[in-house]
Amino acid sequence: MSIVFKREDSHYSSKYTAPITKSDIQCSNGYLNLIGRSFLSIKSHYTVVIENFLKDKANWNDVLNSIYDSFYYFVDHQLQLENLRLGKRQILPKNEILSGTYVSAYDLINKTNIILANVQTMQADSSLTLNDVELIVAQAHCIRAFTYYNLAMLWGNVIIKKEPDDDDDGNSYNSLPQSHQIDVYNFALSEICEALDKLPKTYNNQYNDSVKFTKDAGLILKAEIELTLGKKKDALNTLSSVKNNLEFCYVENPNKNRLAIYNIEKIALYKKEAIDNYDDIVQDWFDLQDCRYGYWATLKRLGKAREVTGCLEYELLMPFPSVEFKLNHQLQQNPGYY
């Protein structure tokens, strides 16, 4: 039983690879730890390859909890990045928040890919019921859908990576070409549709309802993607299925710090957008100070981003981080950036 653990990011020029035995790993506070660090919630570009280790329901739930921890880290970076644009700050390819957002997105995607690549392993695990497996898989699809949707919204044409990183280099996504923004949006939509029927209406626990994907949260994400694709009638139909028992949907880190994603007020604003009722909608979004996720994306959809921020046309997309061009010679920088 071993786990191959690697690290390669912009802050470290060398690569560390070593086999880790089961005795090197312990579970603490719901997170799998390697030498005192959560190996699925480390804040840089890591690869974890699971080999016949996670064969216990508690371990799989620990991995899922750690993925939600990484989910928080991505959203936190995304909001910081968007705040730079909303604050009329210049964003250059060497910006650390920019790089942190991009790298944390693909780190998060890789972790969902690990889950999805091990479905047969989960199905063979006698400690997991079919419902357990379906729920874990559905949440992985939801998080991957959310991440790809926001990657495409921020950067446009991005790489779609569906498999875990290779054992050999840990950066296999860097050899893949970029997909068109619309194709990425459609892939994200297919991901959330794959998950919806498997998501619970509730986890019978108010705490879990607020920090994990329920069916309502999945429906709102689906509607958000549909609005971005111009499918307003579909978005309105999707939103009509939301039961409004969702007070808030958060992401949370192990220190219990929370970032709000969706709430009831935001559902109302998505419905207004779906029926082309734009009266005061920008101000209403601005007033959601405690739930700012989605504000930048909405300004872009409404054609109001340049008016509100004073940014130039090319700045509606973010630049790809400079370090990524050293890793992937196929990567094409967005126009206007050098």
DSSP string, 111-132: HHHHHHHTHHHHHT-TTS-HHH
The pLDDT score that the predictor gives to residue 201 is 85
Assess contact for 155 and 320: CB atoms under 8 A: yes
Three-class DSSP category at 24: helix
The pLDDT score that the predictor gives to residue 55 is 58
Is it the case that residue 134 has pLDDT exceeding 80? yes
The pLDDT score that the predictor gives to residue 37 is 32
What's the one-letter identity of residue 53?
A: F
| 255 confidence band (pLDDT: 50, 70, 90) | confident
| 320 confidence band (pLDDT: 50, 70, 90) | very high
Is it the case that residue 238 has pLDDT exceeding 70? yes
| 282 confidence band (pLDDT: 50, 70, 90) | very high
Least confident of 4-13, 143-152, 219-228, 277-286: 4-13
**pTM: predicted TM-score of the whole model, two decimal places:** 0.84
Least confident of 21-25, 95-99, 263-267, 331-335: 21-25
The pLDDT score that the predictor gives to residue 232 is 98
pLDDT above 90 coverage of the chain, percent: 59
Assess contact for 31 and 69: CB atoms under 8 A: yes
Rounded to an integer, the average pLDDT of 216-237 is 97
Is it the case that residue 253 has pLDDT exceeding 70? yes
Per-residue pLDDT tens over the stretch 47-106: 344 444 555 677 788 888 889 999 999 999 999 999 999 999 999 999 999 999 999 999
| 246 confidence band (pLDDT: 50, 70, 90) | low
Judged on CB neighbours under 10 Å (0-12, 13-18, 19+), 226 is buried
Is it the case that residue 15 has pLDDT exceeding 70? no
Give the residue with greater pLDDT, 26 vs 203.
203
Please give the Cα distance from 73 to 147 (Å, whole number): 12
| 119 confidence band (pLDDT: 50, 70, 90) | very high
Beta bridge partners of 248: 263
Give the closest residue to 214 by CA, choosing from 188, 249, 241, 265.
Answer: 249
Is it the case that residue 335 has pLDDT exceeding 60? yes
pLDDT above 70 coverage of the chain, percent: 77
Q: Where are the beta strands (DSSP E) in 159-256?
A: 248-252
The pLDDT score that the predictor gives to residue 174 is 62
Average pLDDT, the chain: 82
The pLDDT score that the predictor gives to residue 250 is 85
Q: Which two tokens stand for residue 56?
A: 């216990």
The pLDDT score that the predictor gives to residue 285 is 94
The pLDDT score that the predictor gives to residue 244 is 65
The pLDDT score that the predictor gives to residue 151 is 98
Q: What would you report as the CA-atom Rg of the chain, rounded to the nearest whole angstrom? A: 20
Three-class DSSP category at 38: strand
The pLDDT score that the predictor gives to residue 208 is 67
How far does the chain reach from its first CA to its final CA, in angstroms?
46
The pLDDT score that the predictor gives to residue 322 is 95
Q: Give just the sign of the alpha carbon dihedral 261, 262, 266, 271.
A: positive
